[in-house]
Amino acid sequence: MPNTRRFTVALLVALLLTAIALSPAAAADPVQTAVQKAVQWLHTQQLNDGGFGSPGSAKSNAAVTSDVVYALALAGENVDGPEWSKGGVSALDALANLTPGYAGADAGQAGKIARAVAAAGADPRSFGGMDVLAVIEGAYDPATGKYHPNFLFRHALAMEGLRVSGEPVPAQAYAALSAGQLAGGGWAWVFPSPNTTPVADADTTGRALQTLAAASQGACNTDFIAGAAYLARTQREDAAWADLPTKSVSNSNSTALAVGGLRAIGRNPETAPFVKGGRTALQALLSFQEPGGAFVYIAEPGKEELRITATSDALLGLLQPLGTAGPCPATYLPLLLAR
């Protein structure tokens, strides 16, 4: 082959490869990029005792550490390996050290520990010197189907701890969670009762949808239809959510839980009706990420930012797989609009 022909072929190949590299399909996925940056930032937040804590504290916190360990495990990180160790103490070791003083007090707290431990590949039946799952199972009331008598959010966390650990969750527990749905389609932090007047919020609604999705899929699940309608109705003009519709500022935690709940039930937060002002709900969540990788709680100057909690919550929302939901017959449309 003459040199000129070789050069021409080589040039054409180079131009083709450049075009492929610059094409939208080959461009870096924004979610994957956001996850990678968030994980890298979390590396900078690990404390000397191996865990994670509140801003300004030198000691790790069980609630924060369990959330971060869970998010990192879902992101494919080895939280018991040297890359997540300080002074020979891994993030999972740190969580084990914190577990006895945290998991025994509440089924919801035990659920947070259990899901993190199971996702990390360890055994919640024997972790930190205790059987974490036994705490959850011991709190269950078969008469009501509840793992917590008052707090619906913690009831859902207890269920998640069992599910992620591969343990069966009673049908009555799902029924109790479903029954907690309010007339407007959302869920509140507390269970409805004669003594309470719960107000639905985006955080608990997202959590409830994620938990219920483990037991049921399908576009015509009426809980899902009403829950998605509540989130569509309370989504703000910036395409994000506040915990309560009355709040004046959107936040990343509520947005992450809403996005995660929608994805769990097969509602794509990148499509209508979750697009406001040309921005999708997913884009709204990504907008809370700083260049350094952390997610801020609220994008408002001068406010206290719990970036580590916001970042772990954002990771959970971004990593939630999209559930299955086919087309729903038009007979369900009046229900959607009524709620």
Q: Is residue 100 part of a domain?
A: yes
Are 188 and 126 contained in the same domain? Answer: no
Are 251 and 334 contained in the same domain? Answer: yes
Are 189 and 299 contained in the same domain? Answer: yes
Are 185 and 326 contained in the same domain? Answer: yes
- pTM for this predicted structure: 0.88
Task: Tell me the per-residue pLDDT of 251-293, one tens digit each, with 9 for 90 and over.
Answer: 999 999 999 999 999 999 999 999 999 999 999 999 999 999 9
**Angle, helix 62-74 to helix 30-43, in steps of 10 degrees:** 140
Are 198 and 315 contained in the same domain? Answer: yes
Are 237 and 293 contained in the same domain? Answer: yes
Q: Which pLDDT value is given to residue 57?
A: 85
Q: Is residue 163 part of a domain?
A: no
Are 316 and 185 contained in the same domain? Answer: yes
Task: Tell me the per-residue pLDDT of 210-239, one tens digit each, with 9 for 90 and over.
Answer: 999 998 766 678 999 999 999 999 999 999
Q: Which domain holds residue 118?
A: 30-138
Are 192 and 130 contained in the same domain? Answer: no
* pLDDT at position 295 over 50: yes
> What is the number of domains present in the chain?
2
* pLDDT at position 63 over 80: yes
Residue 216: CB partners within 8 Å, gap ≥ 6? 223, 224
User: What length does the chain have?
Assistant: 339
CA dihedral of 93, 316, 76, 135, whole degrees rounded to 10 = 40
Are 196 and 131 contained in the same domain? Answer: no
Last residue of a domain, one of 73, 104, 138: 138
Q: Which pLDDT value is given to residue 300?
A: 61
Are 194 and 80 contained in the same domain? Answer: no
- The CA-CA-CA angle for residues 49, 115, 164, to 5°, reads 155
Q: Is residue 225 part of a domain?
A: yes
Band of pLDDT at residue 324, cut at 50, 70 and 90: confident
Q: Is residue 21 part of a domain?
A: no
Mean per-residue pLDDT for 195-218?
A: 92
Are 205 and 294 contained in the same domain? Answer: yes
Residue pair 11/21 in contact by the 8 Å Cβ criterion: no
Task: Report which DSSP code applies to 193.
Answer: B
Q: Which pLDDT value is given to residue 54?
A: 86
Q: Is residue 241 part of a domain?
A: yes
Band of pLDDT at residue 16, cut at 50, 70 and 90: very low
Q: Is residue 17 part of a domain?
A: no
Are 51 and 197 contained in the same domain? Answer: no
Q: Is residue 128 part of a domain?
A: yes
Tokens 């499509």 belong to residue? 271
Task: Report which DSSP code applies to 7.
Answer: H
Q: Is residue 150 part of a domain?
A: no
Last residue of a domain, one of 73, 105, 138: 138
